[in-house]
A and B are shown apart, each in its own frame.
Chain A
């Protein structure tokens, strides 16, 4: 079970209160882009064994989207940050590095 703290409302809950939204920080390629870029945006996703950055939604709570850094092996949550961030904050990267998983 994952315990997640929503960075929007500050409420902590377990994972059934949230809805997963897949890989975070995708760069969107729309009309006019190369076919390869569009296919990559639409279909190809990372499937890492270790730290992963994901989108989540506080579906049963405040309803807001946000980002979570999570280890897919140990299920450790390194932290959550707002959907407006385009890259993981340094403190979360430091926490991941401190686990020797940079």
Chain B
């Protein structure tokens, strides 16, 4: 096996009020199934340790958890080396259910955005209400950042995690870096 290489090769940037860093190789398993099916929900809970998070929610700590992606899709995040085995165990648990689990660790790039300016930085590029009252810990949003699709959630440690497609990973990092460096902030923060 060759070693995983991330889209930005471990890039980091420290701005005046926020810091952006490449999360490194992050294990990601796409899970799809019928949310209302008790057998599916029970299989996910048994294998991941997390209940299926409801709309716009993330269950877990730091980078490891279960993230809502759409009404029939979730993203399990875990250490990179575990992803393949966890996807296999999920598939086995699903048995004959109309559901799937696939290791998509190499499909996306992941970043960590922290610091008091993190909310304002994301609010510049995403059409999302990021005021603390509207977007709290464990909240997820799958949306647009700059010109590309991205998803981010706010961890209990106060740092945002952001995932985007790997092909646009360098663009997203450069976008975040340029926006953080410019110092411009949307009104209301």
* Chain A residues near B (Cβ < 8 Å): 8-11, 13-14, 16-17, 59-64
Contact = CB atoms under 8 A, between A and B. Distances in A.
Contact of A64 (B56, B70, B141, B143): B70
Interface in B134-149: 141-144, 149
A14 B127 contact: yes
Nearest to B140: A11
Contact of A11 (B56, B144, B149): B56
A95 to B, nearest CB: 24
Nearest to A60: B144
A59 B69 CA distance: 13
Interface string B43-74: 00000000000011000000000000111010
A53 B73 CA distance: 28
Interface of A, secondary structure class, is loop
B70 A9 contact: yes
Contact of B128 (A9, A10, A13, A63): A13
B142 A62 contact: yes
A17 B70 contact: no
A10 B55 contact: yes
A61 B142 contact: yes
In the A-B complex, the 6 residue pairs with the closest CB atoms: A62-B70, A60-B144, A14-B127, A60-B149, A61-B142, A9-B71
Contacts of B127: 13-14, 16-17
Contacts of B149: 59-60
B128 to A, nearest CB: 7
Interface string B70-90: 110100000000000000000
A60 B73 CA distance: 14
Given A13-B128, A62-B69, 15 more contacts: A8-B71, A9-B70, A9-B71, A11-B55, A11-B142, A13-B127, A16-B127, A17-B143, A17-B144, A59-B149, A60-B149, A61-B70, A61-B142, A62-B71, A63-B70
Contacts of A64: 70-71
A32 B149 CA distance: 41
A74 to B, nearest CB: 21
A90 B133 CA distance: 35
Nearest to A15: B127
Interface string B96-128: 000000000000000000000000000000011
A60 B143 contact: yes
17 contacts: A8-B71, A9-B55, A9-B56, A9-B71, A11-B56, A11-B142, A14-B127, A16-B127, A16-B144, A17-B127, A17-B143, A60-B144, A60-B149, A61-B143, A62-B73, A64-B70, A64-B71
